Structures are given as C-alpha cells and as structure tokens.
Structure 1
Amino acid sequence: MSEVMTGQSFADLTLPAAVLKQLEKMNFTTPTPIQIQAIPALMAGANVLGEAQTGTGKTAAFGLPGLSLVDAKLRATQMLVVAPTRELAMQVAEAVAEFGQQIRGLEVATVYGGSAFGPQIKALRGGAQVVVGTPGRLLDLLKKGVLNLSALRLAVLDEADEMLNMGFIEDIETIMAAVPNTSQRALFSATMPPAIRKLAKTFLVNEAGEQPLNIQIAAQEKAKATIRQRAWQVRGLSKMQALTRLLETLEYQRVLIFVRTRSDTMEVTEQLQASGFKASPLSGDLNQAQREQTVSQLRSGRIEILVATDVVARGLDVPEITHVVNYDLPGDTESYVHRIGRTGRAGRSGEAILFYRAKERHLLRHYERLTNGTIEYFEVPNAQELSLHRQTKLQEQIMHTVAQGKLDEMTAIVEKMQADTELTALQIATALLAQHNQQRPLLVAEDPAPRKFAERAERADRNPRERRDRNERPERGPRDRRDANIEFDTYRIQVGRDHGARPQDIVGAIANEGEIDSRYIGQIQLFEGHSLVELPKGLPTAVVRILQRARVRQQQMAIELAPGEIITRSKPPRGDRPRGERPPFKGAPRARGARTERGGERGSEQRRSRRPQ
C-alpha cells in the first residue's frame, strides 16, 4: 500500500461491511489517491482506465470494489483479472483472497501456464467467483470451454503495458472479446503506449457509448529526490568482487539487490553468505508463507541483504531498506523506477547503486530523465582503500573492546604467555593479527589492470566512428528492446507451428517460468515440429531444467542447446531456407507461411505493420 496520506478513510468509500471489517483487521485505514478515485467509480458501475505506477495500490483499487460486486452464493466466475506473469497473478490472487476473508463462501482461483490443468480446471468447475490468470492459460481454458464468462461482472487488465511488451496483445484481445457486453471493465497500466490506448478505446466503452473514467496518478518523482543514485562501470573487477567491497565499506541498514533470474538469486546469495554476509534470496521458488517469513526476517534484522527478481520484489515495503543495488540492469526504465522506490520509504533517504557496462551507458540518461534526478559516477574501493578500511575497522574494534574493560583474565593469559615463551607483547599481538589476516586479509592484493578491450568499448560508446570501425551496430532504438550487450546461444525447443505455437507463447513461457526478462530473449524461428530461440550465453543449469519442464500450448518445451543450428537473419540459399520462412528485416521478400519474430518486443499490431504488402 502507498503511504500517501489523503485525509479519507475506506469507510468513506461505501464498501461492504465484510470488506471494511477485513481492512480494519489488516490495519488498512487510509486509501491511496488511485483508490479514492477508482473504488467509487467501479462501485457506481463505470468502466475505469487507470494510469499509475506499481506500488500505488492498484490491486486494492480494483480488488475491493470487485468483491462488492461478487455474489458469494452464486458458484460462477464473476470477477476476472488478467496479469502478465505467474508471479503477479499469484500476488493479485493472494491479495484479493485476503481482502475477502470475511466473505463466506468466496473462492479465488489462480490459473497460469507451466502448471497442471487438472487442479485449475477443478477450481473453475467448482465455481470460483474470482479468477486471476495469465493470458495464455486463460485463453486455453476459454477454448476448452472450462472458463465460462456468462456471469462475469467485472473484467480487469492489470499491468497492461507489461503484457504488451511480452507479446500478449492478441491473447488479450481474444479474451476481452469473450467478456459479456454487460460486464464492467477496468484497465490499469504504468504507461499508456498507443497499442494500450487503442485496446482501451475498443473494450472500455460501455453499451451506452460512454467513455471510461480516466484516472492518472502522477509518478512521485519529487519523493524520489531523496534517493541518491550512483553508478559503477563494470571493469577490472567482477560484479561480485565489486558488490562484496561495497557491502563491506557501506554503512547500511538493509540492502535489496536486484538480479535477472531466480537462479541468479541463489548464486549471488550463496556467494554473499560465503563472504560472511547475512543474505537470503527472494524468488518465485518460495511459496507465500516462505516469502512472508523472509520479509519478516529482513525487518527484524536476522537478514540484512535480500537478493530478488523484479517480479517478486514488486510491492515490497520495508522502510529499513537503505540501499538498492541494481546488480543487473532492468529490462525497461519503468522497472528501474519501481526498483529504486523500494528504498527511501516513509520519508527516509535512500541510495540506489547501478552496475552497468559501457554499452549500457545510454540507459542511465533515460533513468535520469524518468526520475528527474542525477546519477553520480563512482569507483568501488580499490585494493589499497579496502586494506585501509579493514585496518581502521579492526583498530576501532580493538579500541572499543579496551574501552569496555573487563580484560583482567585476558591480560593474565598474555602475561603467562610472555613468561612461558619469552615472547614480547608486541610479538603475541602480531601473531594474533596474522591469524586474523588469514581469515580476512588486512593487506588486499593489488587489483588487476582493466582489460584493454573494456577501455576500447568505453571509448567506442562515446565515439560512433570507432563503433562502426569495430563492426558494431549503433545504439538500438525503442523498437528493438533486446540488450545489445548480451551474447546469445541458440536453443531448440520441441514446440512448433504444428502445435499452434506463436512467438509470444514461447516468450511468455520462458519469461514466466525462467524469470528471464523479454529483453534477454533474442530471435525466435518457428518450424513445423520445433522452434529455435536465442537465450543469453551461460544460461544457468537450474534455469534450463525449469524450461525443459515448461509447456507451450500443452506441449513440453524439452529445451536443449543447439550449437550447430543458426537462426536465419538474411536470405539463405534456397536449399537451406526453411519452407515459409519470413525474413526478419523490413522490406525483404517473404515466403508464405512461417515467420521469424523478435521475442517479446512488440504486439500483434506492430508485427502486422512490418509485413511487406
């Protein structure tokens, strides 16, 4: 929930008594700006178009009035929420279920891909009144005739811009077309790109031709002015070396570290724990009870560092977080705002630290514009500075111990050692210091010099001519979301056109199950019985195993590395060209049938606009 004070209470919004009773039990008393506007509008029967960032209380803005529309005695789907990812679907479902705890007979079902159909079908046929799901699985259930929307009273699209980025726009259009004309509709999004506005214009106008209530909650950029933003360019040291040095030298209370995948949360956490830090992962592998326990331990101080992915950390509200570290940069600028908003809570100051590579420098300018702030460039402590820090820290600890007194027994031991060994007090102290040095060196080895190619890459980032000389493409525009700094491997999956698969289906499965941002999913090429997809080099084994079990169109992906296969980017010799292949560049001749698509970049409307006429 947002901390914005409004002067109103939930009791002023004419919510049902059972809902108000539960809100009081949850200590929710003050609604946020979007809740003040959206709740009365939805309860009055209007459609709503809400533009607000994550963390402003959007779930309650549609969840609370949605529950007021539900008849718990009617065993049928009455409220439908479409979310872009499995994690967000689960998060929304858990929130709505908690809001409705005092409503006897209320059932909330969560449906998403990559999980067995059986339990989900059972929940729907059992008459769950609230259904929260991802686009692909909802569409499958609609086609099977299991999801019946005839009694639907409210349909909600949550995080619509994220669904657009993941290529789900066609699925959303199909789902919304199945919503009865008598149902209320609501669409919430952090941004409003043209495709989302077109969707809103198509589906949010009611039977009487009335336009939806357009609610715009301005980004709280001024509040983020208390957040200091600093950036370090990755060179010389590895990210992990830099991270441990920062954590050792920073004065922090709690730290939230953002990484790319759930596998990364485990790897980074294990290395931090090995270095003596109190760290824990927060990923989709944890159930709700485990997540709540982890957050509770963070608040209490048993854990000081949390390593998380974007999706799981959305909505995390721990005022004690003083630092956010972007170990991996996010896939889009909006996610950056969500990330750094986890610090500087409740009027406190905070600090956001970024690790970036030379080719990612342009992203920092976008971050500055979006946050209306300035990013400072800095260097992590070098070996000499780290050595001095450790020596100073040890000296302070020794002085503190001496100041506390009660050292008579230790003094007697030292005196006995002197008498028994004829060693001086200085020699004994030096030997003890040497033992301490073996555990954590007080004299750190000199840092390696930055590699020459890294220095050249930095120069090329500033010099377009040198970049062209190195046969590199210039900075990619907004139509190409793939990270230019990522190297890819080609993988083969056992799902193709014969199974009804589309590029957005593959992107959705990989993004949801592997927690891989669509920015890091490269080219996708569809064949009849299989497909090829580009994923980042060095994909962790744990992620590959998860993706092997993931399903697209009810078909197991069975993903495997395909080093001998190459995704076509230009017209190959006729004999080598897959039948019906669509060239991936504008203006090239296109054979009939198949297509090669960029993963997770654009919606169906944009793909159609690129097709040769």
Structure 2
Amino acid sequence: SPLALDNFKLSEPVKSLLRAKGIEALFDIQAQCLPPLLEGQDLVGRARTGCGKTLAFVLPIVERLAGGQGAGGKRAFGRAPSVVVLAPTRELAKQVAADFEYYAKAFSLTTVCLYGGTQYGPQEGMLRRGVDVVIGTPGRVKDHLERGTLKLNQLRFRVLDECDEMLNMGFVEDVEKILNAGVDAATVQTLLFSATLPHWVKDITKRFLKPGFTTVDLVGSQKMKASTSVRHLLLPCHWSQRSQIVPDLVKCYGVCGRTIIFTETKNDANELSGTLAESFGARALHGDIPQGQREVTLAGFRSGKFSVLVATDVAARGLDISGVELVIQLEPPKDPETYIHRSGRTGRAGQTGICLTLVDRRKEGLIPYIQTKAGLKFERVGAPQPSDMAQLAGERALEAVQAVDVSVLPFFRAAAQKLLESVGSPEDAVALALAKITGHVEMRPRSLLTAHEDFTTLRFVSPWPVEKPGQVFGFLRKHMHEEETVEEAKRMTLTADGLGAVFDVPTSLAKEFLAKCGKNEGTRATAHLQVATSLPELKEREQQYGGGGAGFGSPGNGFQRAGGYGGRGAGYGGRGGSSGGGRGGFGGRGGSSGGRGFGGARKFGGRK
C-alpha cells in the first residue's frame, strides 16, 4: 500500500509506537501533511471529522523535535516550550495531549495540558520545571501568559486546531494575543486546521503564516462534509415520546458498541441519563458537572464501564473515543456544522457508524437545510416496533438462560411440568416464560410517523399516480362509508414514488381499515391499504398540504372537523400544545393535555 508506514520518513521508535496501536498505514490527511511539515513548511489543513487529523501534526512535530534542538541532551531545567497547540475545548486539548505524550515518550519529550476548571498550581509547577510541548485552551494559555508563568520566546511550532470553532466560541482576542506573544513568524512553523474557512480564519492565515504555505484540502468544493462512513438516519418522533423510544433505539442500533446521545439542554441530559441509568448505566456530561467528575465520566466511558453517554455539545467538538457505534440526537441542531461534528463522534478512523436524529414536526424545516449544507441525504426510518423488540429481547434472554448453572434445575422442574401441562406445547411454554422474563407481555404498536404508541401506520398503494392527499381520502370514503371513521386517518403523507401515501390510524381501527380497503387475493392490481412495516421514501414537507404544514384543511384544525395533528409546525397538539384533540385528533392551537386522551370525544384544551 502507498500509505504503508515504511513508505514515509518516520523514525523506528515512532513506527514501533504506531504498530503497537495496530496502525500499519497512514490516513490520507496524515500522508499529505507529513512531507511538507517535515520540510518545515507552514500549512493549512482541511479534512472531515474523524479522519486522523491529530496525528497529521503530532507525528511530524515529534519527529522534528527529536532531530533538533528540542531533543537529545537539551533538557534544561526551566526551558520554555518549543510547541504550543491551541484547541477550543478541554476535551480536545486533553486528547491531543494524550497523543503527544504517547509518541513523545520515545524521545523523553515532556508535555503539559493547560485548561480551565483546575488549579493553577500544578500547571505552574510543570512550566517552571520546563516542558517541550504545551497544549491548551486559549483562555487558560492566555492566563498563564499574563501571569508570566508561560514564555513563548523559544517557539518552533504553533498549531491552531479546529480554528473555526475557536472563532465560534469567542476566542478571537485570546488566540490573537497568544499568536502575537510568540517569536517572529519567520522563525516559527505555523499549522492551522479548520473544517471551514470563515473570514477570520483566512485573516489569521494571511497575518501569521509565511507566504507560500502549503494547503492540504480533503474537503474542497465537495458538498459532502459529514463523514462518509456514517449512516445518517432520521426518525419522526413526537417530543413526548422521546424518553420512551430512546432505550429501544440503543438496543436496536447500539448493540455491541458505545452510544453518545446529544441533548439540547443540561436538564434534558440529566433526566435522560437518569432514565437510562438502570438499563445501560448511562452517565451525563455537560458544563455544570465539575471538571474532575467529567474526567472520571469520560474515563469510565472509554474503558467500557458503561456504554451510554448523554451529553450536551460540550462533548461534540473533538471528542475522540473508539468504539462509538451510535450517535443519537434528540432533535436536529439549528446549524449544519453542529450536526457534522456530532455525527463525527462515530464512524471515526475508517470505522462505520450510525447517527440517528429524532425529529418532531416542529423541526422538520431544519432537515432540508442540514441536508443541503452538510451534503448528506437522510434515510428515514420508523420507530422500532414492539414485535422487533420482543424478538431482540428473546434472543438476549435465551443467551442468559443458557448461561444458568444446571444445578438449579431440580428446584424448577415441578413448576415447569405444571406450565407444560397447562400450555400443551413445549415451545409455547418456553415462549411464554421468555415473554414474562423480558417483560414483553403486551404488544402496543407504534406509529412509524410519530412513534406514538397505540397507532398503526398504514400505506396506501396505487397502480396510478397519487398527486394529492384528497385522492387517498376519496378512496377511503368510498370504501369505509363512515365519515367519522375516515377522519381518524392522521398525518397523511405522500410517498416519493408518486404512487401512494402513508398515514396513522388508532390501532383499534386498523383491522377495520384493512378489512374494507385491503387487497383482495386473486384480483388484478388495484389500489389498496396495507400495514407499513417500514417507512418508504416520502415527499418533502413543502409538498404536503394544509394547517401550516401540519394537517389538512384550515390552519390548526387538521382534516375537516377532526383535530388532525394540530396547528402550524406544532405536530401533536398544535402550537405549543401536547397530545389530545378533537374527535380522534390531537388538540387545538395551544391545547394542553386533558379530556379522554388519544381518540377521545373532547379536545385537550382549545384556543388560547
């Protein structure tokens, strides 16, 4: 392979350390950065998240330090650092520091990581003794400069990692002060890595990099900026169902690896981690958690003590943890860059992963924007059905049962014999026992369109084009005969192939719909209803009708007299409302819960 380690100017100690981690070849970003950096050139690097960017600058800097003034016998007490690396978050700074420590140990190079939330004393002690590499967040590095405990007058390298994020986090003044505090740019090698190139980043490049710097761009003008090794799934889910569905999503999609769940608020992180604590040992990670506890939490997640981490965006940037199989976002973020970096916590370093985003109808408008800006195409999926979860639970229960010590069998044979006699079939007896063990004693279907329980998603299939929802409602009226029953059809959405639609009905009415509108065996192809076992590709939201994008008919009222799914952009319950509604509907504008629940005769609240 042209990317094999032996094809690059790497020392034997460094190659041995790489191979000890199972690395036999470099990634593209590393292979393209290594030669110019070893030659002393300044560099601007752009690459997708999770592509091995950190080693792209760690390896050449360590090699140059080992072969120059920063290595050998020049380990003078109190020496000023030869390298300063700035990172936007303490998590990223610590990860970069860990890589430097690992590869620098072969040459007795020392490192220190400077970040806030910890005492100054230990950091000042290390700086007084002398270090070769300083990695830190801009705020804490600037503090040490102002306190006089950090000198940058002997710099040979300076690195800005995730420069665009430092701009987003308000570190402009701190970064510029640090850059101006060093030696003349002509005598220092400057490396800048940034996923995007906003105006400030371009300005920094012009002011602090030497003319003729090298550019390594693995993004370019390509639209696809999100990781290509990640499946981007989109699951329609009403906000009220999120806590019920997330545990099943972890069981379905995160079976063998680690899972990171992103929430928008600290309170959401606390509540959801509490919900998942018993089943998965989940822990929360956000800015209100003391730094010491955050480090313990991340260490436990890395070591496998627990498999689910519930985090705010404090962990989105730069968090590099191997084995993250699944990322779940409770709702789509407002900007594509946040989506790109959240999804980039999985599918790293050549591995594959899944990023699953829950979307309430209120946030559907963000999806086309994210797809366009991040250059990805979401794959829509439905909520895991109880039948799927029962089968999965049965398989895991079987493994657990097979692990039971046979010495306990005599104590249960009498009860087993009674069960067998009452049921008749050995298979049925075991199945009943497994159902009870796993807690799947009742099957409550979920809507594929909203994840609400006790709703079934039906699919209308037609041999002729379906251009408007009214065609489907006309078909239903013709066969169902009862207008009130037809009005139970909610969230009508046309399919992308133009030959059908999907919609929800109360599970109690699903058999009636199928009996009157299902396909008759032996007849020629004709329009009919069937149970949707998965979500087909759907038309974009702007091609749907009524209710400000919510239902059918007048704004906020769904289809005709029924409550539909509520008002403009609100999903179930209208603008700011929650579940409930008119006859079988889900609430008027701003309605709050009350009445008889889903399908009841009264509305939950009314207009404000």
TM-score computed with the length of structure 1 as normaliser: 0.60
* Kept after mapping to 1: 8 A contact 2:104/2:110: no
Unaligned runs of 5+ in 1: 475-484, 487-613
Are 1:192 and 2:192 matched, yes or no? no
Structure 1 residue 130: deviation in Å? 0.8
Structure 1 partner of 2:122: 119
* Kept after mapping to 2: 8 A contact 1:50/1:187: yes
Amino acid at match of 1:99: Y
Hey, what's the Cα distance between the residues in 2 that align with 1:418 and 1:144?
77
Q: Provide Cα deviations, 1:295-316, integer angstroms capped at 9, x if missing partner.
A: 343xxxx855454555547464
Find 2:301's aligned residue among 294, 298, 301.
Answer: 294
Structure 1 residue 132: deviation in Å? 0.9
Are 1:172 and 2:175 matched, yes or no? yes
Find 1:204's aligned residue among 202, 206, 209.
Answer: 209
**Count of residue pairs the alignment pairs up:** 444
Change (3 A) 1:442 1:122: same
Structure 1 residue 262: deviation in Å? 7.4
Structure 1 partner of 2:83: 79
* Kept after mapping to 1: 8 A contact 2:85/2:158: yes
* Kept after mapping to 1: 8 A contact 2:51/2:348: no
Change (3 A) 1:403 1:324: closer
Structure 2 partner of 1:526: none
Change (3 A) 1:430 1:144: closer
3-state SS in 2 of match to 1:113: coil
Find 1:65's aligned residue among 57, 60, 69.
Answer: 60
Amino acid at match of 2:102: E
* Kept after mapping to 2: 8 A contact 1:236/1:449: no
* Kept after mapping to 2: 8 A contact 1:52/1:191: no
Change (3 A) 1:234 1:8: same
3-state SS in 1 of match to 2:176: helix
Are 1:98 and 2:105 matched, yes or no? no
Unaligned runs of 5+ in 2: 447-451, 456-489, 492-540, 557-566, 570-574, 577-608
Structure 1 residue 443: deviation in Å? 4.5
Are 1:270 and 2:274 matched, yes or no? yes
Change (3 A) 1:398 1:414: farther
Find 1:145's aligned residue among 145, 148, 164.
Answer: 148
Hey, what's the Cα distance between the residues in 2 that align with 1:253 and 1:28?
23
* Kept after mapping to 1: 8 A contact 2:262/2:327: no
Amino acid at match of 1:83: A
Structure 1 residue 131: deviation in Å? 0.7
Amino acid at match of 1:436: K
Task: Report matched runs for 1:6-21 at 5 Å.
Answer: 6-9=2-5, 11-21=6-16
Change (3 A) 1:120 1:214: same
Are 1:89 and 2:84 matched, yes or no? no
3-state SS in 2 of match to 1:237: helix
Task: Report matched runs for 1:412-423 at 5 Å.
Answer: 413-414=414-415, 417=418
3-state SS in 1 of match to 2:153: coil
Hey, what's the Cα distance between the residues in 2 that align with 1:362 and 1:196?
30
Hey, what's the Cα distance between the residues in 1 that align with 2:266 and 2:381?
28
The CA RMSD over aligned residues, in Å, is 4.7
Amino acid at match of 2:80: A
* Kept after mapping to 2: 8 A contact 1:236/1:448: no
Change (3 A) 1:409 1:365: same
Hey, what's the Cα distance between the residues in 2 that align with 1:79 and 1:195?
23
Change (3 A) 1:212 1:239: same
Structure 1 partner of 2:110: 107
* Kept after mapping to 1: 8 A contact 2:33/2:57: yes
Structure 2 partner of 1:134: 137
Structure 2 partner of 1:541: none
Hey, what's the Cα distance between the residues in 2 that align with 1:185 and 1:175?
13
Q: Provide Cα deviations, 1:409-442, integer angstroms capped at 9, x if missing partner.
A: 68951487589xxx94579969976993895542
3-state SS in 1 of match to 2:365: helix
Structure 1 residue 448: deviation in Å? 7.2
* Kept after mapping to 2: 8 A contact 1:254/1:305: no
Q: Provide Cα deviations, 1:490-548, integer angstroms capped at 9, x if missing partner.
A: xxxxxxxxxxxxxxxxxxxxxxxxxxxxxxxxxxxxxxxxxxxxxxxxxxxxxxxxxxx
* Kept after mapping to 1: 8 A contact 2:90/2:137: yes
Find 2:31's aligned residue among 20, 29, 36.
Answer: 36
Structure 1 residue 113: deviation in Å? 2.1
Hey, what's the Cα distance between the residues in 1 that align with 2:20 and 2:437?
53
* Kept after mapping to 2: 8 A contact 1:79/1:152: yes
Change (3 A) 1:438 1:149: closer
Task: Report matched runs for 1:507-522 at 5 Å.
Answer: none
3-state SS in 1 of match to 2:59: helix
Structure 1 residue 172: deviation in Å? 1.0
Hey, what's the Cα distance between the residues in 1 that align with 2:396 and 2:136?
54
Larger relative contact order, structure 1 or 2 (CA cutoff 8 Å, min sep 6): 1
Identity of aligned residues (%): 30
Relative to structure 2, which stretch is displaced further, 179-188 or 366-375?
366-375
Structure 1 partner of 2:47: 52
3-state SS in 2 of match to 1:100: helix
Hey, what's the Cα distance between the residues in 2 that align with 1:148 and 1:131?
11
* Kept after mapping to 2: 8 A contact 1:97/1:108: yes
Structure 1 residue 171: deviation in Å? 1.4
Relative to structure 2, which stretch is displaced further, 371-380 or 167-176?
371-380
* Kept after mapping to 2: 8 A contact 1:45/1:184: yes
Amino acid at match of 1:170: E
3-state SS in 1 of match to 2:105: coil
Structure 1 residue 108: deviation in Å? 0.7
Find 1:26's aligned residue among 21, 30, 34.
Answer: 21
Hey, what's the Cα distance between the residues in 2 that align with 1:289 and 1:147?
28
* Kept after mapping to 1: 8 A contact 2:30/2:53: yes
Amino acid at match of 1:78: S
